[in-house]
């Protein structure tokens, strides 16, 4: 069943046509990845779906409900959460305060159980819950950004470049967690420049080039596609 459907999306930055007729869908319990070079339009697409950018035209539907023009805060309450590129944790707040901010759409009675769930998945955050977020390592900040997104209990979790700037061992840890989240029932839309890692974990994939989708299909098939291998897998 299709959870998210994006059709003929066009997004502009001023006079720059950044997204040119992009269409894709994410089915329930899938991991779908958007791969492509820097500037291909991956993050712009994600930010538009999340309500942070406005599309010039096209449609976005989540669980059958049209999202076009819906404010980002409302989109979160519908069951969609974005873990943004560059982590963007609240640097001066503690780990726990960051997580509590992620649960702002939930009733107060649900915050403590949601925190327990996040601490079970990320024991490091439990150990550091009173630490100022800006003093965490890059890997810990990525875990915090993911934990903060999970506090809203999303049906669809969107992850924008979760491996950016992390050491290879931490990248593996983050991708293990993404796999665990998906097996536990969370649908994932993943934007990732590390195409090898993204395709190894995804169900299906779309390849973006300069605002267009140029290839789509089963992630394993794209992993072995000669053009994709040459362009993105080295």
| pLDDT, tens only, 11-23 | 999 999 999 999 9
pLDDT of 213 above 90:
yes
The mean per-residue pLDDT over the stretch 4-8 comes to 97
User: Mean pLDDT across the chain, nearest whole number?
Assistant: 92
CB atoms within 10 A of CB 169: 8
Query: Do residues 60 and 49 make contact, with C-beta atoms less than 8 angstroms apart?
Result: yes
pTM, entire model: 0.93
Looking at the DSSP bridge assignments, the partners of residue 215 are: 207
pLDDT of 234 above 80:
no
Give tens-digit pLDDT for 94-109. 999 999 999 888 888 8
pLDDT of 137 above 80:
yes
pLDDT of 136 above 80:
yes
pLDDT of res. 107? 85
Q: Which of 108, 110, 181, 171 is nearest to 138 (CA)?
A: 171
Residue 194 CA to residue 233 CA, distance in Å, equals 8
pLDDT of 87 above 80:
no
């Amino acid at each position: 069943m299709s959870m998210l459907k994006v059709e003929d999306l066009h997004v502009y930055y001023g006079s720059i046509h950044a997204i040119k007729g992009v269409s894709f869908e994410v089915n329930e319990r899938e991991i779908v990845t958007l791969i492509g070079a820097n500037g291909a339009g991956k993050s712009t697409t994600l930010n538009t779906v999340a309500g942070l950018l406005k599309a010039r035209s096209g449609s976005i539907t989540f669980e059958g409900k049209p999202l076009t023009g819906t404010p980002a805060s409302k989109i979160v309450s519908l069951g969609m959460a974005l873990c943004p590129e560059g982590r963007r944790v609240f640097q001066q707040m503690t780990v726990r305060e960051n997580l509590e901010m992620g649960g702002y759409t939930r009733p107060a009675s649900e915050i403590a159980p949601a925190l327990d769930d996040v601490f079970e998945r990320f024991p490091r955050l439990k150990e550091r819950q009173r630490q100022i977020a800006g003093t965490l390592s890059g890997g810990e900040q990525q875990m915090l950004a993911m934990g903060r997104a999970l506090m809203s209990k999303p049906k669809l979790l969107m992850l924008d470049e979760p491996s950016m700037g992390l050491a290879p061992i931490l990248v593996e840890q983050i991708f293990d967690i993404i796999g665990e989240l998906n097996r536990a029932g969370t649908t994932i839309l993943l934007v990732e420049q590390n195409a090898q890692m993204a395709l190894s974990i995804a169900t299906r994939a779309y390849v973006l080039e300069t605002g267009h989708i140029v290839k789509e299909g089963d992630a394993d098939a794209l992993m072995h596609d000669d053009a994709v291998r040459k362009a993105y897998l080295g």
